[in-house]
Amino acid sequence: MRVLFAFIAVLLLALAAYAGVEAVNLRFLFGVVIPYVAVVVFIAGMIYRVLKWGSAPVPFRIPTTCGQQKSLPWIKQNKLENPSGMLGVIGRMTLEVLFFRSLFRNLKTQLNEDSRLAYGEAKWLWLAGMAFHWSFLTIFARHLRFVMQQVPEPIRMIEGLDSFLQIGTPLLYMTDVVLLLAVAYLFIRRVGIPQMRYLSLANDYFPLFLIFGIGLSGVLMRYFYKTDIISVKVLAMGLVSFKPSIPEGIGVIFYIHFFLLSVLLIYFPFSKLAHLGGVFMSPTRNLANNNRMKRHINPWNYPVHVHTYAEYEDEFREKMKKAGLPVEKE
């Protein structure tokens, strides 16, 4: 039901672009207006999101420590998993953001017949996550060639590396395949594992279908239903130079691709995808475990009512004296 809902939603979006361009010739809407709106919503939405998170203070320094603390000089501290300073935190966050360190730890817990629990390696989720995100980033970088008059050398290098298998014409980009496979894996995992299916929401499936749709339409456009790539570049250059125009000869497949991407951008800040920004702000990861060395200030710390020693002694004075305990007042 939730899967179907998400699938139909994406299908309808693709159809909307198809119908809009083919039947009603809304090329300007799908090629210019919606993309502009999408970029504005994405940027403004993400800024809003991050500012909103940032506006809430971090009252306590609560890193999850995953290694030995800094204590006595002869005990080796785990500076990456339990950092006590800025450098360690930067290292920890780098590993987390670029290589998904925590997910790499993933284990599979299994209850055997004889009631014994066994823990096994479970790196597939990590691998698929890495494959997905890095492919996505590479593909994004490759697309920069459409918005630059001169294609810079680093992008040419990425393209070269990405196509070094030298398969087909045009050359096959590995990341195209990897992205689709990774998304497919993430989807199959979600529906295939009973617990995963149980906890998944429609808004877990929707972005998977959406991204798969973007990837698929891109692949179709590049390898099968070829579209006039020069015109696409003219359109893209027009958009980034704020002189939008709709050149002739761009196939409908491009508009589907472009529209789904626009939807992704609009959806992004209001969904779980905003983890792109959130991952940097997690207080269990981006703080040093140096609480006992350096006082952390809670901006809303306020005085509280406490049961004082004087009140305590007043209640127990006689008993304390009998037990030979010193008292302040006789």
Question: What sections of 268-326 are H helices per DSSP?
Answer: 275-278, 309-322
Shortest Å distance, C-beta 172 to another protein:
29
CB 265 within 8 A of CB 207: no
Shortest Å distance, C-beta 287 to another protein:
10
Nearer Cβ to another protein (49/233):
49
Nearer Cβ to another protein (86/293):
293
Shortest Å distance, C-beta 121 to another protein:
10
Report the residue count for the chain: 330
What's the Cα-to-Cα distance from 58 to each of 61, 83, 205, rounded to whole Å? 7, 18, 32
Nearer Cβ to another protein (200/262):
200
Separation between Cα atoms, residue 131 and residue 187, nearest integer Å = 14
Neighbour tally for 40: CB within 10 Å: 12
Nearer Cβ to another protein (243/307):
307
Three-state secondary-structure class, residue 329: coil
Shortest Å distance, C-beta 41 to another protein:
12
Shortest Å distance, C-beta 26 to another protein:
25
Nearer Cβ to another protein (160/192):
192
What's the Cα-to-Cα distance from 66 to each of 72, 141, 240, 293, rounded to whole Å? 18, 34, 45, 19
Three-state secondary-structure class, residue 74: coil
